[in-house]
Chain A
Amino acid sequence: MYSIEALNLSHHFTKGERVLDDISLRVKEGSIFGFLGPNGAGKTTTLRLILGLLRKQQGDIRLFGKPFEQHRAAALRQIGSLIESPSLYGQLNAAENLLVWQKVYQCPKKRIAEVLDLVGLSNTGAKKAGQFSLGMKQRLAIAVALLHEPSLLILDEPTNGLDPGGIVEMRTLLKILNQEYGITILISSHLLSEIEKLVTEVGIINHGKMVFQGSLDELMERQQQVASLIFEVNRVEQALQMLADQHPTAVIVQGKLKLPALSNEDTAAITRRLVTEGIDVYGITRGDNDLETIFMNITNN
């Protein structure tokens, strides 16, 4: 079963360029779905459409298997969200901010203390939310999203403005929420490295189009296709000529010899051959083998 099914969504703000062009997105129940794309790719617009914050122009949105428009209130009762910057009332303290939403959701009052504890804000007392650091505001916004025990969390760049420690903390918290509480999470980010350790499935959007959707393993497979091996040698031109027959795609990049990714055995064989022919090998490194590069490759094409 899918928690979110957004099918063939298209959207434009003015008569000009489409912000979203036939986007389809499926988020499986119980998964952590990473929604990736560079700034301005259309991530926030997609999430705002899913949450009903923007009027849908084209396409179909189903949440928990039911059409969103006909079951808006029931669907929203099961969703916790954090879209872009935290939504907090600056003149109220953390508990009062949560009380505002507790009245609406009519969840038990004890949830306020529970979620404050969960995000590590139990001791903020009378301090007003407006005086919080960005990290604290972000955590309070997560507490708001979790207050009514939603089964789906939609988080738009929740690590924005957090320091490295805060990012790790946020990741740990989201893992706990997914694994221990079974909450489905849709998290957007423009940095793959930030969420690659967290997500089980990935969707990549660029210029309003979905350019990849699948499991993290599938993304890793793509990585293998573009990965390379770089040899740092003393006579690079001679080395290129020597390997041209067996490896015609080899090229010289920044004074180094670049070949497609090879097995360990092949790497050892090439090294032996170079050394036998009197070429000194200073170093061998794997290039373009990180997820960030594949992300860049996908979004740049």
Chain B
Amino acid sequence: MTTSFIHSFQSEWLKTRRSLAAWLVILGGFFIPLIMLTARLLYPDRLPGDSAASDFWEAFFSKCWQMMALFLLPMGVVLATTLLAQLEFRNNTWKQLHTTPQYLTTIFFSKLAVILLMLLQFLILFNLGIIVAGFLPHAVYGVAYPQEAFPFEFFLTKSAWFFVDCLPIVALQYLISLQFKNFMIPLGAGIGLMVASLIALEWEYGYFIPYTYCPYNFFELRKVAGMGPQSVNVHFWALGYFVLFTLLSYVLYITKKEKG
């Protein structure tokens, strides 16, 4: 079972080659850092101030995450998950995949694992982009590097929470995308829930909506007062929803009457 999972995973990973989702991860990962890099290259007079700041990296990290956490990351996750999960519908390949000697469980989890790995890949690229955008302008203009030691742990933990907060989006999009052939249904549902989550951010029970956790994590990062649920750990909610949606998705997938 383990061996076949690895082979299945390798096969699923190959399918992402040159796919729109793969490009989305690469371009999405570097998009904000590239804008920040350009801004810092255009205004070199601000670099000495950055060098002297004691919390440059935390502030820069938070600035980079602003648009990403509120809109781009949830949107990107909706798009990439939908595109990856719909790969078989689009290419009319479910029937070929389901006539291979693999357990349906293996297929389900190897596909999900590929999506999660791509999310991880996105976060790695995004963090690398932030680091490059932080250091490069100083090197280009010969200005001293930020005096603050690079906070590895901060980057790692904050990014890990963003990963966790994306999980319910991944699981729900995966569920819908596996059930409907029409690409517009999972995409429409994803965008609809995203908009609903943005509206519900200030609502005291906004954390009931599984797409609100990335913005809430950002508010926590920025220490925005009054935003986000009080005394509720949204990361646990994210994990709970992820497990729930994944189980539901698995049951629906396994019991589907038509498999291609």
Residues of chain A lying within 8 A (CB to CB) of residue B94: 87
- The answer for the CA separation of A90 and B96 in the assembled complex, in Å, is 14
Query: Which among A72, A74, A81 is the interface contact of B96 at CB below 8 angstroms?
Result: A81
Contact A54 B100 (CB under 8 A): no
Per DSSP, chain A at the interface is mixed
* Residues of A within 8 A of B (CB-CB), count: 33
**Interface pair B257/A96, CB less than 8 Å apart:** no
- Residues 47-65 of A at the B interface (beta carbon under 8 Å): 48, 51-55
Kindly supply a per-residue 1/0 record for chain B positions 178-203, scoring 1 wherever the CB is within 8 Å of any chain A CB and 0 otherwise.
00000000000000000000000000
* Alpha-carbon gap, A74 to B260, bound state (A): 20
A77 interface residue (CB < 8 Å to B): yes
Residue in B17, B92, B101 whose CB lies within 8 Å of A77: B101
Contact of B11 with A73 in the complex, beta carbons under 8 Å: no
How far apart sit A166 and B87, CA to CA, in the bound complex (Å)? 29
Of the 9-residue stretches A99-107, A199-207, A251-259, which lies at the interface with chain B? Answer: A99-107
How close is A204's CB to chain B, nearest CB, in angstroms?
A: 24
Instruction: Compute how far the CA of A86 lies from the CA of B95 in the bound complex, rounded to whole angstroms.
Output: 10
A208 to B241 alpha-carbon distance, docked (Å)? 45
Contact yes or no, B17 A101, CB < 8 A:
no
Q: In the assembled complex, which residues on chain A have CB atoms less than 8 Å from the CB atom of B15?
A: 89, 92, 100
Are A52 and B102 interface neighbours, CB within 8 A? Answer: no
Contact call A87/B95, Cβ cutoff below 8 A: yes
B259 near A52: Cβ-Cβ < 8 Å: yes
B98 interface residue per 8 A CB criterion: yes
Question: Which residue of chain B lies nearest to A154 when distances are taken between CB atoms in the complex?
Answer: B99
Is A73's CB under 8 angstroms from B101's CB?
yes
Residues of B within 8 A of A83 (CB): 95-96, 99, 260
Whole-angstrom distance between the Cβ of A124 and the nearest chain B Cβ: 16
Bound Cα distance from A104 to B95, whole angstroms = 15
Would you call A91 an interface residue if the criterion is a C-beta within 8 Å of the partner chain's C-beta atoms? yes
Interfacial chain A residues near B96, Cβ < 8 Å: 81, 83, 87, 101, 144
If A89-B87, A90-B91, A103-B7 touch, whether A53 touches B101 (CB-CB below 8 Å) is no
Specify the chain B residue showing the minimal Cβ separation from A87: B96
B11 pairs with A87, CB closer than 8 A: no
- A85 contacts chain B at the CB level, 8 A cutoff: yes
Q: What residues on A are CB-neighbors of B102 within 8 Å?
A: 73, 104
Q: Which residues of B lie under 8 Å from residue A73 when comparing CB positions?
A: 101-103
B209-260 residues at the A interface, CB under 8 angstroms:
257-260
Residues on B with C-beta less than 8 A from A55 are 257-258
Docked-complex contact A103 and B10, CB < 8 angstroms: yes
CA distance A207 to B118 in the complex (A): 48
Per the 8 Å Cβ criterion, residues 1-16 of B in contact with A are: 7-8, 10-11, 14-15
Contacts of B101 in A (CB 8 A): 72-74, 76-77, 104-105
Q: Roughly how many angstroms separate A73 CA and B101 CA in the complex, as a whole number?
A: 4
> CB-CB < 8 A to B14: which residues of A?
92, 96, 99-100, 103
A54 touches B10 (CB 8 A): no
Partner of B11, one of A86, A88, A103, A128: A103
Interface centre among B8, B11, B95, B99 (most CB of A within 10 A): B99
- Pick the most buried of A52, A53, A73, A89: most chain B CB atoms within 10 A of its CB: A89
- Report how far A106 CA is from B10 CA in the complex, Å: 11
Check if B93 is an interface residue, CB within 8 A of chain A.
yes
A195 contacts partner chain B, Cβ-Cβ < 8 Å: no
Given contacts A92-B15, A92-B17, A103-B10, contact A53 B92 (CB under 8 A): no
Residues of B within 8 A of A6 (CB): none
Alpha-carbon distance A53/B260, docked complex (angstroms): 6
With a cutoff of 8 Å between Cβ atoms, the chain A residues found around residue B100 in the complex are 76, 101, 104-105
Asked if A210 is an interface residue, CB under 8 A from chain B, the answer is: no
**15 interchain pairs, CB-CB under 8 A:** A48-B95, A51-B98, A52-B98, A55-B257, A72-B101, A73-B102, A73-B103, A74-B101, A83-B99, A83-B260, A91-B18, A92-B15, A92-B18, A103-B8, A104-B11
Report A's interface with B, CB cutoff 8 A: 48, 51-55, 72-74, 76-77, 79, 81, 83-92, 96, 99-101, 103-106, 128, 144
Using A52-B98, A54-B258, A96-B17 as known contacts, list a sample of 18 further A-B pairs with CB atoms less than 8 Å apart, ordered by residue number in A.
Answer: A48-B260, A51-B99, A52-B259, A53-B99, A54-B257, A54-B259, A73-B101, A83-B96, A83-B260, A87-B92, A87-B94, A90-B90, A91-B17, A91-B19, A100-B14, A101-B100, A103-B8, A103-B14
